[in-house]
């Protein structure tokens, strides 16, 4: 098993299957030109045949031109793909070809060759570092082309890292005695299918994309896709079992996938814990700034992954436009608190708010005006049981966001104080940072209560809390005079705390600020 041979074959075969699907062509019918006759080209072509390509539809070329069956001194590998067609050059081979596979040298394919190919041509120019034809030149020549290269600076990179170490992982986990054709084909199908699934937002961010989706520019997963480890090894392991080469079969596939995901580290373990809990009982979540694309994408992910049922607040026309842009087709509620269509609901919320706050100087008219504000409207939805949670703060300051919640949503049973806890992922592991925004100058009793509450949150994740405390700090939105505490006070806490956090952070323990 060699990555440049079988690895390239597996990754390019996955890309080819998806490219053929997009171009509405059948692998057993397409004409394939393979430029190159080395070990990688031979391995790729053999795997394509395993998926249904016809040997008589394949033309392979080496440095001397088309490999024909009337040529002398052919190696057994080249003879395997020798054609009976009376052609000699790449120019001739490319006429009416559906697929070009390049594993040779740079700049040997001309625009005229592309123009001679069949409708919706598939071109995999995989010579590195420079492909058989420049990517920009190829897509400028043929608008209907599906193009892939071996380069990371263009879409559809055929990168062997997509298969390694995942193929070996699956083989080793069932103690396979060999890596056979069935296991390779299973890896191909797993990669091809993964490209059709919704892409995690972290992958979009890593590649600077608004939304990667199965298309001519995305026929193969990206190397940074964290799902690879949970998709490819199980497929390979199952194929090993089905083909009789596994010595230690897997019986619990869900447990096996969880073990694979644990290899990604503690940060991902905590995220998975949150996701799994959310999926067991999805809640109705209000997104108060859904007319911002990042917020709407977050709502889309929560819906697609079964984490929550989004309720979108904001300018309805803008939300609908953005939904279309990111292909968010789900039928979810869209509410614009400023729209008169919501007058009945706003009046209902205004009266409830007025009842709660009228002894604190709030009039009914003021309450009605406040219900036109998204954060007040969203908080009232939670307060009145029309939603379970609310997410806000993308484009507004912290005080603007938190004030409605403090006024409307009551304390949890047994609680006497309000504080915040943020979970921060760091290179040393997760850290829980508490009360960074609410209590400006807490007393000793307040600090004890906040520490107790934070301890409960940390233990909810199955962790044993180790705590340190620092002095006051803020992000600039607080106007309280106590924010400007003395330098002496800050210096008293910070150096010692920094050492404390570093010491525990190095051993993946958890600290609360």
CA–CA distance from 215 to each of 21, 118, 413 (Å)?
A: 10, 19, 51
Helix 181-194 vs helix 8-22: crossing angle, to nearest 10: 50
| pTM confidence score | 0.63
In this structure, the strands spanning 308-313 and 283-287 are parallel
pLDDT tens per residue, the chain (513 residues)? 887 889 999 999 999 999 999 999 999 999 999 999 999 999 999 999 999 999 999 999 999 999 999 998 899 999 999 999 999 999 999 999 999 999 999 999 999 999 999 999 999 999 988 999 999 999 999 999 999 999 888 999 998 889 888 999 999 999 999 999 999 999 999 999 999 998 877 677 667 776 789 999 999 999 888 889 999 999 999 999 999 999 999 999 999 998 898 777 656 667 776 777 788 789 999 999 999 999 999 999 899 888 899 999 999 999 999 999 888 989 999 999 988 777 888 889 999 889 888 888 889 999 889 999 999 999 999 989 999 999 998 888 888 888 888 887 777 777 788 888 888 877 777 889 888 778 877 888 888 888 988 888 888 776 778 888 876 555 555 565 655 543 333 333 333 333 223 233 333 333 333
Helix, coil or strand: residue 451: helix
Helix 293-304 with 316-325: angle, nearest 10 deg: 60
Half-sphere exposure of residue 319: CA atoms within 13 angstroms, side-chain side: 24
What whole-number distance in Å separates Cα of residue 107 and Cα of residue 125?
10
Between the alpha carbon of residue 350 and those of residues 148, 344, 355, 511, the distances in Å are 58, 10, 9, 42
Name 51's Cβ contacts closer than 8 Å, sequence gap at least 6. Answer: 13, 17, 27, 185, 188
Instruction: Region of 100 please: left (phi>0), alpha (psi -120 to 50) or beta.
Output: beta
Domains in the chain with CATH codes: 3-153 (3.40.50.720), 166-264 (no CATH), 277-408 (3.40.50.10950), 421-512 (no CATH)
**Collapsed DSSP state (helix, strand, coil) of residue 325:** helix
H helical segments located in 63-110: 76-79, 90-93
The residue with tokens 């625009």 is 111
Contact present, 317 and 340 (Cβ < 8 Å): no
């Amino acid at each position: 098993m060699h990555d440049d041979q079988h690895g390239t074959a597996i990754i390019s075969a996955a890309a080819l299957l998806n490219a053929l699907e997009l171009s509405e062509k059948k692998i057993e019918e397409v004409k394939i030109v393979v430029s190159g006759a080395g070990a990688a080209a031979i391995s790729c072509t053999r795997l394509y045949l395993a998926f249904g390509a016809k040997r008589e539809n394949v033309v392979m070329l080496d440095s001397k031109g088309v490999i024909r069956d009337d040529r002398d001194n052919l190696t057994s590998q080249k003879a395997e793909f020798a054609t009976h067609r009376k052609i000699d050059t790449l120019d001739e081979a490319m006429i009416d070809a559906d697929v070009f596979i390049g594993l040779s040298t740079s700049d040997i394919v001309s625009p005229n060759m592309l123009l001679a190919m069949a409708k919706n041509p598939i071109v995999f120019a995989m010579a590195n570092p420079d492909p058989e034809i420049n990517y920009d030149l190829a897509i400028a020549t043929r608008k209907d082309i599906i193009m892939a290269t071996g380069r990371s600076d263009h879409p559809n990179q055929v990168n062997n890292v997509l298969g390694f170490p995942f193929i070996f992982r699956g083989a080793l986990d069932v103690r396979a005695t060999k890596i056979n054709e069935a296991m390779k084909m299973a890896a191909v199908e797993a990669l091809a299918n993964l490209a059709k699934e919704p892409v995690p937002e972290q992958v979009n961010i890593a590649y600077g994309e608004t939304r990667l989706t199965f298309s001519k520019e995305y026929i193969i997963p990206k190397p940074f896709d964290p799902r690879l480890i949970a998709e490819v090894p199980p497929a390979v392991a199952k194929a090993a079992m089905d083909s009789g080469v596994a010595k230690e079969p897997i019986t619990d596939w869900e447990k096996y996938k969880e073990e694979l995901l644990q290899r990604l580290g503690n940060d991902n373990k905590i995220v998975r814990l949150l996701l799994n809990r959310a999926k067991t009982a999805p809640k109705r979540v209000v997104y108060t700034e859904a007319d911002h694309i990042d917020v709407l994408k977050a709502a889309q992910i929560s819906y697609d992954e079964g984490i929550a049922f989004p309720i979108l607040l904001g300018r309805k026309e803008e939300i609908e436009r953005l939904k279309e842009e990111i292909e968010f087709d789900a039928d979810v509620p869209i509410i614009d608190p400023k729209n008169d269509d919501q007058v009945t609901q706003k009046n209902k919320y205004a009266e409830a708010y007025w009842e709660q706050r009228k002894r604190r100087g709030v009039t009914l008219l003021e309450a009605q005006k406040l219900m036109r504000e998204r954060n007040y409207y969203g908080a009232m939805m939670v307060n009145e049981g029309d939603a379970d949670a609310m997410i806000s703060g993308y484009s507004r300051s912290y005080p603007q966001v938190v004030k409605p919640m403090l006024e409307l949503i009551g304390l949890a049973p047994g609680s006497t104080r309000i504080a915040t806890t943020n979970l921060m992922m760091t290179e040393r592991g997760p850290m829980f940072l508490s009360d960074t925004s609410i209590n400006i100058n807490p007393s000793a009793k307040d600090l004890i209560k906040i520490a107790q509450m934070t301890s409960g949150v940390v233990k909810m994740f199955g962790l044993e809390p180790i705590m340190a405390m620092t002095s006051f700090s803020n992000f600039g939105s607080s106007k309280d005079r106590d924010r400007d505490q003395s330098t002496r006070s800050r210096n008293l806490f910070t150096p010692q705390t920094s050492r404390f956090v570093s010491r525990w952070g190095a051993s993946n323990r958890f600290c609360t600020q």
